[in-house]
Chains A and B, each alone.
Chain A
Amino acid sequence: MKWNKSLRLVSHCFVILLFLQVGCSFVDSNSGSPNREGEAPKWEQGKTANLLGAHARLRKLSLHIRGLSPSSEEYDNLESSISQGLGNKFFNDTLERYLKSPQHLGKMIERLEDLFGVRLNTLPAEKYFHEIPSKIKDITFDINSMDLLFRKVIHENTDWNTLFTAREYQILYPSLTLYNRPSDLGFLNAIKTDLPPSSDGLLRIRDKDEFQGSPIPIERSLMPVNFVEKDIRVAGAFTTSRFMSRYNTTLLNKNRKRAAALFRILLCDNMKPIIQDNEDISDLLAKAFPRTEQNPSPIIRSAEMKHGTEQTCMSCHQKLDPMGQTFRTSGNVLSSEAAPGALTYPTNDNKMVHVPVSGLGELVDTVTQQQEYAQCQVRHFWNWFIGKDIPLSYSRLEDLRLEFERVKRKPSDFVTYLVQQKEFLQDVSGTFSRDVTFAQIRPIMKQCASCHSGASNSLPNFENLPFGRTKQAHKTWIERIIVALDLAGSGAQAAMPPANSGWVLKKEEMQDFRNWINDGARDDNGLKTIEDGAVQRLPKPPTSSNTKTGIFGYAGLRYLSAMDLLRTIEQKFPNGWNGEFCVSNMDPKVLGFFNAETQEPTLQGPSLAFIKWLSKCLLEISKSEFVKIKADNKSFEKYLGKKVLESIAGTPQEDLIKNADKFAWKKVSPEIQSAIALHLVQDFIGRDTATDESELVEKALMMTKDSGDKMTTEALQLIILAAALNDEFLTY
């Protein structure tokens, strides 16, 4: 046992030394501002530089860019580079390599599919899109023009705007569709008359099971479909079968659903219909009674007509309706006729933009010229690479927008910049309070301003601070807002937003508001605009003991997705990888899948089903890995770790390296058992990452104790399971 403790102590000392070493290398390079050469950022004076350690930085980089945790070899290389004073070079090279990896392509396609609300595939996207054979014989190979466009932008690192404005597509020919939507060929047939007719070679399949056991003799390949550069009818991913079918239209809907998707994707303006339980029902009551001769009530408008024209409804409809008109001529296939419409929306400084356009293509071209568009795209990148829960001030957003434009909106270039920024390099683990600046409050106030615009000149511009022209006016308005939103209470007595506004503040938004006021109503730059005690202290939410994972529950976005887990499992067990096992037993609702309607994860965290799925998947894949290693006469050393290999050299336990599947676990000395467990825990969770690493190692070892006659590989499986069933493994 003494040896065991000393081994752990040595290991921990090594980690500490490594951390200090990296810390020093950061300090050395802290003389400059954030730059693109991979140097660490300069920290603001007076703030604690709570930087990530090198291991944690590698893990974060790998997970955010590839959706995959680093391998042990990568950690080893990092340590070796740091010991040679080449830490920054290592990170630069690694970043470049990650950005060119198939996993980055897959991860970005998945992010874009989530953004468009169209996620479909059950394997990581790179499985379909990394290498596309010139002749595709597999009928289950379903790739479509939208994903191929995503692939082009990420793969070739082209202008991000191409996603939305492209006039060049690739489609698979002959067409074949597994789903209830027109094939890409059928979708484009009316507008592109030089294409082969869709009935020529089009094969519609409702259920691929129909074709099990009877392969269709069909060979497909990619076909380019090009339009003229400024074709007003065509707009990148929006004029694809997949988008139009996903956001279908009805006589009542009048393409508003499509317009709402455009506003969300292009301008980060989320509009969702809601029903309030205290809405005015007088019109409904008037409708419920028939007209009589004695009581000839006036004809009232239908609720839908009324909804579309009332002032409170107009805050959404004045934007949605003109944009929706540009889709008017297209149902589920793209029309050859362009439909005119307009881009109408209020800018950041509350000026109404109204640009009439002749077609959807022109509309999207116009949107991409707007400052708010570029800011919104930056926000997407921020949410993906920094975190939705990390505050982004307006001035910071503008800085990043300028950089986005400077790198000509090339995604890999912008990601390279982002991941070297202080917000990425900060260690936010354990920092679970939400710092709120006006940047988080502005969208709420923008909504207020949108409805109040023109209502009264006595109202200040709510989108800028201070509210009103004087400090006193600002304080008074904040006090009025406290009352109007019932921030001192539960919100139940709120007079604003009005019941019939179709808009309601979420509990999280209410709490952000309270936190913002309690903390001095900080502006975009984090400076207080009201003095402490100037207004009443507002209630805080009850503190939860769930602080460690609170941020993840709140943001709901930092859990590894099921696809990330599949990538990681494949990397950890390359010999035994059989994605089919884990996929066929995976309920897609378990984790990481977005609800396309809410744009939030379907579940907010791991469920019972998820734990069981992950456990059984890991046990099955690891078992298959070990069987394969033995069958191929390979070594188990990868699962033992470098330090263990050194320790057992020349001892009877050396047999472990070749025969772990036959070597009884009880024959492994406790010291070596501990070292193996530490290696596997670090391999899964990351080195220098888990806060309770030694406790985890203890637990993992306890799992191996129950049965005395276990083989080593069985024990390894259990240790792996212990490491994986951990919040720190499952979260970014």
Chain B
Amino acid sequence: MRGVVIAGLMVAVLAGCRIAGPEAEAPPAAGAITEQALPSPAEPSAPPETLAESPAEPPAEPEPEPALLAEQRRLCEAGGGQLAPRGGGVVACVRPTRDGGQRCEAAAECEGLCLARSGTCAPIAPLFGCQEVFTARGLRERLCRE
């Protein structure tokens, strides 16, 4: 992707593009709600004046942003992008494309990806995960970027 800056709280890994088949699914998360007896009524709470006598905790100071991240944010925003969380503590600089939403039939027609389900240019770049795209030759493929 052109002009992309990847920054990370952790070491961000850009593994490059690959063409992949459908991803295997993990089994659905377990979890069951079983019929339960209603809990006993709660004990009456303490009178409010008891609580009111306790001194209030001062609000916690927000932790300052790490210098590296702050610098990456500055560079990203200077280029018209925004740092977006990607999960796992990793952030990426994502910026809007100039042709987002325009019709496309091949990758060369877009600044970013040419998304195949809608046949339109992606509104932001880069796009992570697996996407249905049209390639440079206009072939429909599944493109994965991690």
Q: Do A and B truly interact?
A: no
B→A interface (CB under 8 Å): none
Interface residues of A (CB under 8 A from B): none
